[in-house]
Amino acid sequence: MKIEDLPEIFQSLWRCGITTMGACGDDTRNVTGCPLAGVDADEVVDASPLVRAATGMLNGNPDFYNLPRKYKISITGCRVWCSYPEINDIGMTALPDPQTGEIGFSVRVGGGLSTDPHLGLRLNAFVRWNQVLPVVKGISEIFRDSDVLRQNREKARLKFLFLTHGWTAGRFQEELERRMGFSLDP
């Protein structure tokens, strides 16, 4: 293969419905969940439909290309948090509402490892099943629109809003709710 052949190769791929968009770089990585979702007898809920829906909403969506940096999301219904939601940009874990028993999710933001490890901060929110996608979209928009994260590539992950730029979980939740147009129950 020669470099001058690439345009025709890409055109052939596109005609078959295959694209290289989102294959790497500053975009959403695979949204992860529990690999035993739907078969784990001890899971709180099978969250795999939400994983697929969040993937469909973000991957392939030009509104979410060219993010400040790579972007990792975990949505899980398992009790052991095997997809490590606390070290993802968004980590959602299923839990029952203590008063009604309704299954919803807690949400953590700004987790990550590397040279500046940071556990995601838990928002004071009970996210209902039908609110998961608006929450993921709102958090993704905050990340995308945070120009301060584009100033230094080494400090461009969502966690740096908290580590470097003075954001708190409360401030983040206020901005999230403003963007969504509704408040989350605690």
How many whole angstroms separate alpha carbon 51 and alpha carbon 55?
6
pLDDT at 22: 67
Helices within 35-102 (DSSP H only): 48-58
Arch. (CATH architecture) of 25-180: 2-Layer Sandwich (3.30)
- The pLDDT value recorded for residue 97 is 95
Q: What is the pLDDT of residues 75-102, one digit of tens each?
A: 999 999 999 999 999 999 999 998 999 9
Asked if residues 92 and 75 have their Cβ atoms less than 8 Å apart, the reply is yes
Report how far residue 22's alpha carbon sits from residue 33's, in angstroms, rounded to the nearest whole number: 19
Which portions of the chain are predicted below pLDDT 50? none
- Map tokens 């990585």 to a residue: 29
Give me the pLDDT at residue 183, please.
Answer: 98
- Residue 45 token pair: 């809920």
CA gyration radius for the chain?
18
Question: What percent of the chain lies above the pLDDT cut of 90?
Answer: 84
**Model's pTM, two decimal places?**
0.90
pLDDT of residue 73: 98
Q: Where are the domains of the chain?
A: 25-180
